[in-house]
């Protein structure tokens, strides 16, 4: 049961901090793409900030809803 509540908390934390998390990962992606392009490897550009923010918010909400459903099924 502790694992379910930990996953629920993780999903809520991802949804709560989706903007700084998405901005950090987007910055890292852009730096990685720039490094590869300097070495002659062509890669597609990194995701836009707003797209990444929406994606991470959605992931956090999906994880939280999934765990809420699991907890509800365990108590039922």
Q: What is the pTM of this model?
A: 0.85
Residue pLDDT tens, the chain, 76 long: 899 999 999 999 999 999 999 999 999 999 999 999 999 998 898 899 999 999 999 999 999 999 999 999 999 8
Q: What pLDDT shows up at residue 1?
A: 84
Q: How far apart are CA 10 and CA 2, in angstroms?
A: 12
Ramachandran angles phi, psi of 39, nearest 5°: -95, 5
- For residues 10 and 44, is the Cβ–Cβ distance under 8 A? no
Q: What pLDDT shows up at residue 45?
A: 86
How crowded is residue 40: how many other Cβ atoms within 10 Å of its Cβ?
6
């Amino acid at each position: 049961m502790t694992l379910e509540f930990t996953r629920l908390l993780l999903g809520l934390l991802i949804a709560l901090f989706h903007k700084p998390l998405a901005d950090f990962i987007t910055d890292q992606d852009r730096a990685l793409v720039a490094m590869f392009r300097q070495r002659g490897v062509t890669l597609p550009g990194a995701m836009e900030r707003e797209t990444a923010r929406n994606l991470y918010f959605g992931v956090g909400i999906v994880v939280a809803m999934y765990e809420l459903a699991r907890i509800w099924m365990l108590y039922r």
